Structure 1
Amino acid sequence: MADFILTTGDLAMFNPTFGSAIVTVIPGNLTGTGKGMINKKMVCVDGDEKTVMVPGCPYITASHPIPGVGMLSIASLGGDQKAKRTKSNHKPVLLKGSTFTAKFQVMAPAQQPTPAGPIPDPVPQYSGTGTFITTNMRVKGT
């Protein structure tokens, strides 16, 4: 099924719920490395999603209400987000699609207040989802 091709500057929007963690999300920017251009912006190809890294995102959990900080990234694309036929520089182009799997890597753990002192969140990483927002409303790939 045809869908809009992603280009440089398009956004990876992360959903705030990452399992038991609630993350204050910041959108990530895509940078295209494909040969083609749409609206004077480079197209995104397979592998470009791996460069999306969003550090400095605060988070909390129900048991750890003192905020910690981590980094958002894209763990894997959804099955409808990589073109099967449309390629640029011999690589499949990336499509808007539905949802991708996201990863939240804890850098500074959230804390649980106790009379004996704060207890850090023991979970080093959380999984979540996200979607792409594109400015390309003209060119589709399959």
Structure 2
Amino acid sequence: MADFILITGDQAMFNPTFGQAIVTVRPGNLIGTGKSKINQKLVCVDGDEKKVIVPGCPYMTPQYSIPGVGMLSIESLAGNQKAKNTKSGGKPVLLKGASFKAKFQVMVPAQQPSAPSPIPDATPQYSGTGTFMTMNMKVKGT
């Protein structure tokens, strides 16, 4: 099924719920490395999603009320987010698709107040989801 091709400047929008963790999310920007252009912007191809990193996102969990900080990234794409037929520079182009799997890596653990010292969150990473927002509303790939 045809869907819109992702281009440089499109955004990865992360959902704030990552399991037990509630993350203050910000969008991640896509930078295309394909050979083709849409609207004078390079198309995104397989592998470009790995470069989307959003550092410095605060988070909390029900158990840990002192916020921690971590980094958002795309863990894996859904099957409908990688073109089967449309390629650029020999690589499949990325499509808007449904939702991708996202990863939240804890850099500074959230903490639970406790005497004599706070108890840190022992979970190193949380899983969540996100979607792409594209400025390309003309060109589709399959």
Q: Output aligned runs, 1:34-113, within 5 Å.
A: 34-113=34-113
Counterpart position of 1:12: 12
TM normalised by structure 1 equals 0.99
TM normalised by structure 2 equals 0.99
Moved over 4 A (4+): none
Displacement of 1:114: 1.3
Q: Output aligned runs, 1:113-124, within 5 Å.
A: 113-124=113-124
Displacement of 1:116: 2.3
In the alignment, the residues of structure 1 paired with residue 40 and residue 3 of structure 2 have an alpha-carbon distance, to the nearest angstrom, of 19
Q: Output aligned runs, 1:22-41, within 5 Å.
A: 22-41=22-41
SS at match of 1:49: helix
Displacement of 1:115: 2.7
Counterpart position of 1:127: 127
Q: How many equivalent pairs are there?
A: 142
Displacement of 1:117: 2.0
In the alignment, the residues of structure 1 paired with residue 77 and residue 137 of structure 2 have an alpha-carbon distance, to the nearest angstrom, of 21
In the alignment, the residues of structure 2 paired with residue 32 and residue 136 of structure 1 have an alpha-carbon distance, to the nearest angstrom, of 13
SS at match of 2:97: coil
In the alignment, the residues of structure 1 paired with residue 90 and residue 125 of structure 2 have an alpha-carbon distance, to the nearest angstrom, of 34
In the alignment, the residues of structure 1 paired with residue 87 and residue 65 of structure 2 have an alpha-carbon distance, to the nearest angstrom, of 46
Unmatched tracts of structure 2, length 5 or more: none
